[in-house]
Amino acid sequence: MKKIQIEKVEAARRQIDAAIRWLFAKGDPVAIFTVASAGYRILRDIAEIRGNVGIHQSQKDIIRPGKEKEYWKFINAPVNFLKHAEKDPDATFQGFKEEYIDVTISIACLYYHGLGYKITTEMHLFSVWYMIQHPNIIKDTAPIKGIIIDELPFVKNMSRYARLEVGRLLLEKAGIYKKYIKGG
């Protein structure tokens, strides 16, 4: 059996990129979310240890004032549910939304970039895809608001399945879909 050596940041990057590819391939939402959450948590822990908590500020820079508490509650509830079972082994998470995946990956990308790493093509394409769908979260003064979001408002009105297909097509155009999803 081949052994691999991997650093924490590299593991997180691979988890996030894999979650993005699986998301756009319309894979199992719980598995995608679990992998994305693991990558997110590694990066968040590294940021806290390094004292690089300014990454939290980058989220404040794009989230509308007054939406912060809603944002963090949305993120933490399913992560905590899937991470532990010692206190509630028979619990059921009511209302798991596939959008939890989107938010978790988005934050993980912010942490990765905020820690000083160059975002991957998957992360970049996902970030654009995410912001197009959530223009109400992005401040009107954010550069991406006028450059991309205002130019592609029709994507927000598509079904989730159709939006994921747009993401898959972005990965395909970047040469990623064929390499990882189709095994080419």
5-25: pLDDT as tens digits: 999 999 999 999 999 999 999
- Tell me which residue range forms the domain holding 41: 8-181
Assigned domain for 55 exists? yes
Assigned domain for 78 exists? yes
**Model confidence pLDDT, tens digit, residues 102-143:** 988 988 998 898 888 999 999 988 988 887 777 666 666 665
Q: Name the domain count of the chain.
A: 1
Assigned domain for 83 exists? yes
Assigned domain for 153 exists? yes
Assigned domain for 46 exists? yes
Whether residue 182 has pLDDT greater than 60: no
- Provide the whole-model pTM: 0.76
Assigned domain for 171 exists? yes
Assigned domain for 2 exists? no
Q: What is the pLDDT, as a whole number, of residue 143?
A: 56
Whether residue 180 has pLDDT greater than 60: no
Q: Fill in the DSSP letter of residue 86.
A: S
Assigned domain for 1 exists? no
- Residue 46's closest CA among 103, 84, 8? 8
* Separation CA 43–CA 10 (nearest Å): 10
Torsion sign, CA atoms 81, 83, 31, 153: positive
- Residue 163's closest CA among 23, 37, 34, 62? 23
> How many other β-carbons are positioned within 10 Å of the β-carbon of residue 71?
17
In this structure, which amino acid lies at residue 5? Q
